[in-house]
Structure 1
Amino acid sequence: MKKTILASAIAAATFSGAAFAQNPTLTASDLAAKMDSMPTVYGNIQYVLYHDNVDGGGSSVEHADNGSTLGVMHDHEIAPGLTGFFKIEIDRLGADDIDSRDSFRIDEAYIGVKGDNFGQLWVGTDDSIYETAVTEISEFYEVATLSRGVDYDTGEGDLVQYLSPSFGGLTIGAAVQINGDADPEVSKKSYPWQLAAMYQVDALELAVAVDSNDGGRGGENNENTYGLRASYNLDNLRLTGEFHTRKDVSDTFGVMGVYTLGKNQFALSYELTQYDDNFSDAQFADKDIDTVTLQALHNLSDHMYVYFEGYLGGGDDGVYGVADKSERSIASVGAVYYF
């Protein structure tokens, strides 16, 4: 018997025994309702084997934990139409090596309330409104080592976030990060904010977002970051385009297509980041860097999938740390089991 099934059976037997001891007249439907009220435990183990090569530089092979996590979540009705919820998720489990130096880290931890007419309000550590609204490409892939991502400073902790109900396809999101002057990670008391608007009609999705970048967490400057995303779904094909800009830092462009065929998924994307000549890091100032990424993923079952991802990075000379060279490639294969 699988360990997860065995654990569930033991938990059910223990819970039902205690419940019946407290109330011998408990019916099967009562017991089912109590079981439904228990928190949901979920998690995954992710392994990857990858080869990383820099033209004119180093080359390496590694088998690694690619982000294994363990989490618990729960919700309950506070009043008719109003639900309370919580979630906590731990990552960096270091599942690849018993002597791994990876230390457990809280990846998500928050509590909140939500309702059909109210929307959703939550507090804690979670993906920010900007990230969920307009950063689809850099967050899509399993490995994503070469993806430059998007330059914005407001992190995922100390957040108060709100997401409105849908008004004819239009959803509004807002977030504020509370950086108190007693927080050792910040240089000043501040309240950086994010705003986003997302619109969906039929197969079309549009989203715009802004991050104030004034959190005092060591960012490049406090110029706003602005982002725009457009996505379109054509049966089994999803197309996405993005643009992000921040004055005196960088402009980032990206396009991606994802095709689903039965249990298989294929993705191809291109990302380009153009750094401003005033950018503080001399290695990237006034230079371009781009990445082409290919993914082929196969779902073995409802709880397990395998994948291949290939990354080819280019750009101006020196962007990968080697003078007069501008190419880096990564090939990776991985497997994920989740429950």
Structure 2
Amino acid sequence: MKKTLIASAVAAATLSSTAFAMDPASELAAKLDSMPTVYGNIQLVWAYENIDGGTSNQQLADNGSTLGVKHEHEIAPGLTGFMKAELEFTADEKGPNGLDKLDEAYIGLKGNFGKVWVGSDDSIYESYVDKIVNYYEYADLNVGGNYDTGEGDLIQYETPKIAGGLTIGAAVQINGDAENADKSYPYQIGAKYSMDAITVAVAMDSNDGDEGPNSNTYGVMAGFGADNFSVSAEFQTREDVADLFGVFASFSAGANTFAVSYEFEDQDSGDEVNVISAQALHNMSDNMYVYVEGYWADAEPEGSSDSTETTQLALGAVYAF
């Protein structure tokens, strides 16, 4: 009888200790799974610029180093909450500012209805159409589209893929009395269709802020992307400002990627700008890559047969985790 009691007591103690050992481990695993993801990068570049008939200069500079955190969790079946905060710092100089600039910060919900998010992020128009200027690492001479609605104070919505590959997005910027003399609500709408290797996108920005002429910007982008090769073309126009046309191509071979593009901007003032950009990028590992980029820009002012040529060379390295 006593042996049975002792055996039962030992078994109970064993089960209790096992439960004690397992529960903290399970709780720890659950806590780790619920922890936010911390990520970041250091981007450094050496850049040289020469203006024909003018000055030349060179510098070692930070090229957008960031430290960020992101997280998402299931609120209910089919409904997920998410957030992201990304801060920039200057990596090439020691100073007191630390994380001194906000790049992205937003919260949102996503599910079968699509996703909606509020805060600071790349806008619908920018992500759908304005591809070339956002591809290059240095991108100091790239033209980019003429649209005023910025990346802050945005409420954005994007549908899930419908009709086989169609995505529709919209954004509105809330500018209140505290930021502008008058309230304004500039908005963007866009649609993107992807089928296999082909993507076509159109977008519009109302430009209803307090900058520039109050005319809409319209853009269209079409691209083809295979496993190691991609080409695209984009056209953007804004009345009384400028028309912009660009073509882009890239090719990957192993750890190396090569890209080239051409942009032409015809400004309503009469000025014309041509920009040729090229990049060679080598992935050293999953976390680190190096690149060299070359730029040539030719600007011809209105009423002048002379043009100003600018050339740039950029050598950079990025370590990301």
Task: Mark yes or no: TM-score above 0.5.
Answer: yes
- 1:131 corresponds to: 126
Summarize the alignment of residues 169-248 of structure 1 with structure 2, pairs less than 5 Å apart: 169-183=165-179, 186-216=180-210, 219-248=211-240
Residue pair 2:270, 2:302 contacting (<8 A) in 1 also: no
CA distance in 1, matches of 2:318, 2:203: 32
Residue pair 2:256, 2:281 contacting (<8 A) in 1 also: yes
Matched to 2:311, the amino acid is S
The unaligned stretches of length 5 or more in structure 1 are: 1-22, 277-284
- 1:17 corresponds to: none
- 2:315 corresponds to: 333
1:156 to 107, 129, 151: 151
* Cα displacement (A) at 1:28: 3.8
CA 1:336–1:113 in 2, change beyond 3 Å: closer, same or farther? same
CA distance in 2, matches of 1:103, 1:235: 37
Percent of pairs with identical residues: 54
* Cα displacement (A) at 1:182: 1.7
Secondary structure of 2:31's counterpart equals: helix
* Cα displacement (A) at 1:54: 0.4
- 1:57 corresponds to: 54
2:32 to 30, 35, 48: 35
From the CA coordinates, give the structure whose radius of gyration is larger: 2
CA 1:100–1:246 in 2, change beyond 3 Å: closer, same or farther? farther
The alignment covers a number of residue pairs equal to 301
- 1:15 corresponds to: none
Higher-strand-fraction structure: 2
Residue pair 1:318, 1:324 contacting (<8 A) in 2 also: no
2:286 is the alignment partner of 1:290? no
Residue pair 2:48, 2:314 contacting (<8 A) in 1 also: yes
- 1:258 corresponds to: 250
* Cα displacement (A) at 1:304: 0.2
CA distance in 2, matches of 1:162, 1:80: 20
- 1:309 corresponds to: 293
CA distance in 1, matches of 2:118, 2:35: 22
1:38-62 CA distance string (max 9 Å, x none): 0100000000001001001110010
CA 1:100–1:137 in 2, change beyond 3 Å: closer, same or farther? farther
- 1:249 corresponds to: 241
CA distance in 2, matches of 1:99, 1:260: 39
TM-score (norm 1): 0.85
> What is the RMSD of the two structures over their aligned residues, measured on CA atoms?
1.9
Residue pair 1:291, 1:313 contacting (<8 A) in 2 also: yes
CA distance in 2, matches of 1:292, 1:332: 14
CA distance in 2, matches of 1:314, 1:292: 9
1:118-177 CA distance string (max 9 Å, x none): 100000000000000101111000000001111101000000000001001000000000
Matched to 1:166, the amino acid is K
Summarize the alignment of residues 109-124 of structure 1 with structure 2, pairs less than 5 Å apart: 109-115=105-111, 117-124=112-119
CA distance in 1, matches of 2:40, 2:212: 35
The unaligned stretches of length 5 or more in structure 2 are: 1-19
Residue pair 2:154, 2:172 contacting (<8 A) in 1 also: yes
2:266 is the alignment partner of 1:274? yes
1:73 to 70, 75, 81: 70
Matched to 1:124, the amino acid is G
Residue pair 1:191, 1:215 contacting (<8 A) in 2 also: yes
TM-score (norm 2): 0.90
